Chain A
């Protein structure tokens, strides 16, 4: 186990810079998830950490050692690939023991290592099978087994669950998290799925267009997104954004599209008339007599909750209710955001304005 430090790392392909100075400290034993939309540079960063891509500038260190010019095999890391990259001509046993074999380990040593990993992942009955004869979830576990066998300083996961069906993905998510709690190996996990990030991470690093937008614990990111991008990216259904102005007139409030008034707990100093983006999560709406008038467009019950799409001042918003309301399209309701859970962002920079 080891800490990892990524310091001001940049990556260019030719003249095209894809990472613009990324700094991420990762503590020993931490589960860090790099999350962001496609093309944000998260996979590139992971591959640089693995040594599969060169580092244009900046440093990456594992433990106390700067690994910029260290060969991948000497970095003491193990990676699980999106397509698993299992060797098709080797049995599960040989796949898992391959790295030990290359290292010149004795056959008993390989056996013990493979056996231990197979027991952890419940792969023992499958050891003599070929990858072709395994289901998606089993292949996924073999790929993890291959990583465990090496007992590395750091585990790297590159979107490992995206090839699985929805149900299996949830099961494997738990399995990976459980594995981490058991082995306590420093883990860097790349995904584009914010739910995976929220459920698994000790620390989430939200990336976008080659920069780190914000990092922190899942709930920190959920409760206090530093900018509009993170606010919109974390949470499902996504946060509602309404454009408008702050009105300070004794008490603070927000004037949204077509003059809709929405409550604010406090306003930043000297912000009267300032154009802002008002963010409210779907689950922070309540039905209240002093709420803003909204016309219901679509109702989507999921059983545990009901998602309601409605128009406030002509803008569509989504609200989620745990309780069962009998709404139908066209109904008029009064939606009230919880003022203590409202987020304000600068209209031009997207930066968070309220504390």
Chain B
């Protein structure tokens, strides 16, 4: 080393002990916790707490205006023997399965159609979203008029075409009523499925289709071997949501039929509302709502396991 003496730097300020505040500022986990707090508080107050309260209520005989006693499973025992409850379970399953299946079919078809090159593509894509934008109650009211026993435009048209003699009692006949509410739900739910699947389709690289064309695939084979497998993760997500929304549907039914005629369109959600709020039996209504939980969990599990299997999506692990 050179023999130039470096002038010693002025004594630096003594390094002080980190205060608690310093630690909080520099500990990323602690900081992360605080960033997470608002969201967590929201979830706890507006989701977890009501859910817990609902389950608790279902174990009590609470009525509106009276704090209930803990009665364990008595509400559920009552429901077990309640034919209307079982009818609502059947209705809900029918409603969910039929509506979801048709929504998937039409939604996929529309998505494939909108993914093609055609004139006015942007406008058509926007138009597909309209049913989704209209508030549910408004569209339910419109359907109410469309299916009205006296003023139904469908009955009117068919009568003027000479196809029927009398108005069809759309919302008064159990079978027709079921068909009508399912139809209304499908009309409302298709855009969500279609647009989400369309987004999924657009992530498929066009060169895969070109490669498949050269490999000799027909249009159907391309769908079967390329489009469909690549779309399955998105199908699983969108159908889980669609099933959850349909299973818990309330607005459409309540606005169109209020569960009638003779409970033919009562879903678990509408029955729960009727028993808990209209009839004031909060405990029993809560038990009906809580009875939906196993079904919803089952739907989530199906898609969860459906999503897990796809090894090709997983990262670059060279196993």
A132 engages B314 (CB within 8 Å): yes
List A contacts of B210 (CB < 8 A): 52, 79, 81, 85
B205 engages A85 (CB within 8 Å): yes
B208 engages A130 (CB within 8 Å): no
Greatest chain A CB density within 10 A among B214, B310, B319 is at B214
Q: Which of A83-107 contact B (CB under 8 A)?
A: 83, 85, 87-90, 98-99, 102-103
Q: Which of B265-319 contact A (CB under 8 A)?
A: 310-319
| A-B pairs with beta carbons under 8 A, tally | 69
A87 to B204, CA, bound (A): 10
Interface residues on B, range: 20 to 34
Q: Does B106 contact A (CB under 8 A)?
A: no
B312 engages A72 (CB within 8 Å): no
> Which stretch from B74-82, B175-183, B222-230 is at the chain A interface?
B222-230
List B contacts of A132 (CB < 8 A): 312-316
Q: Does A133 contact B (CB under 8 A)?
A: yes
Which of B215, B313, B318 contacts A98, CB < 8 Å?
Answer: B215
A72 engages B214 (CB within 8 Å): yes
List A contacts of B205 (CB < 8 A): 83, 85
Residue of B whose beta carbon sits closest to that of A88: B312
A72 engages B213 (CB within 8 Å): yes
B225 engages A98 (CB within 8 Å): yes
A56-71 interface bits toward B, Cβ cutoff 8 Å, 1 = contact, 0 = none: 0000000000000000
B240-270 interface bits toward A, Cβ cutoff 8 Å, 1 = contact, 0 = none: 0000000000000000000000000000000
Q: Does B211 contact A (CB under 8 A)?
A: yes
Which of B208, B214, B225 contacts A77, CB < 8 Å?
Answer: B214
A90 to B207, CA, bound (A): 15
Q: Does A50 contact B (CB under 8 A)?
A: yes
List B contacts of A79 (CB < 8 A): 210-211, 214
Residue of A whose beta carbon sits closest to that of B206: A85
B316 engages A102 (CB within 8 Å): no
Q: Does B216 contact A (CB under 8 A)?
A: yes
Distance to closest chain B CB from A72 (angstroms): 5
Assess A89 versus B316: contact at CB under 8 Å? Given A72-B214, A77-B214, A78-B214. no
List B contacts of A150 (CB < 8 A): 215
List A contacts of B225 (CB < 8 A): 87, 98, 102
A73 engages B215 (CB within 8 Å): yes
Greatest chain A CB density within 10 A among B210, B217, B226, B319 is at B210
A211 to B58, CA, bound (A): 80
Residue of A whose beta carbon sits closest to that of B218: A102
B221 engages A102 (CB within 8 Å): yes
B214 engages A73 (CB within 8 Å): yes
A319 to B104, CA, bound (A): 68
Which of A50, A87, A90, A130 contacts B214, CB < 8 Å?
Answer: A50
List B contacts of A131 (CB < 8 A): 312
List A contacts of B212 (CB < 8 A): 87, 98
Q: Which of B155-196 contact A (CB under 8 A)?
A: none
List B contacts of A73 (CB < 8 A): 213-217
Q: Which of B65-93 contact A (CB under 8 A)?
A: none
A85 engages B208 (CB within 8 Å): yes
A133 to B317, CA, bound (A): 6
Distance to closest chain A CB from B137 (angstroms): 42
List B contacts of A72 (CB < 8 A): 213-214
A50 to B230, CA, bound (A): 25
Assess A85 versus B312: contact at CB under 8 Å? Given A73-B216, A103-B216. no
Which of A50, A88, A102 contacts B217, CB < 8 Å?
Answer: A102
A102 engages B215 (CB within 8 Å): yes
B214 engages A133 (CB within 8 Å): no
A77 to B214, CA, bound (A): 8
A132 to B221, CA, bound (A): 23
Greatest chain A CB density within 10 A among B208, B216, B225, B226 is at B216
Residue of A whose beta carbon sits closest to that of B226: A87
List A contacts of B313 (CB < 8 A): 88, 132
Distance to closest chain A CB from B317 (angstroms): 7
Residue of B whose beta carbon sits closest to that of A130: B312
Greatest chain A CB density within 10 A among B210, B211, B215 is at B215
Assess A85 versus B310: contact at CB under 8 Å? Given A73-B213, A132-B316, A133-B319. no
Greatest chain B CB density within 10 A among A77, A78, A88, A90 is at A88
7 closest Cβ pairs, A-B complex: A73-B216, A99-B215, A85-B211, A85-B207, A130-B312, A89-B229, A89-B312
Question: What are 26 A-to-B residue pairs whose CB atoms are below 8 Å?
Answer: A52-B213, A52-B214, A72-B214, A73-B213, A73-B214, A77-B214, A81-B207, A81-B211, A85-B205, A85-B207, A85-B208, A85-B211, A88-B230, A89-B310, A89-B312, A90-B312, A98-B212, A98-B215, A99-B214, A102-B216, A102-B217, A132-B312, A132-B313, A132-B314, A132-B315, A133-B317
Given A51-B214, A81-B207, 4 other A-B residues pairs in contact with their CB atoms under 8 A: A52-B214, A72-B214, A89-B230, A133-B319
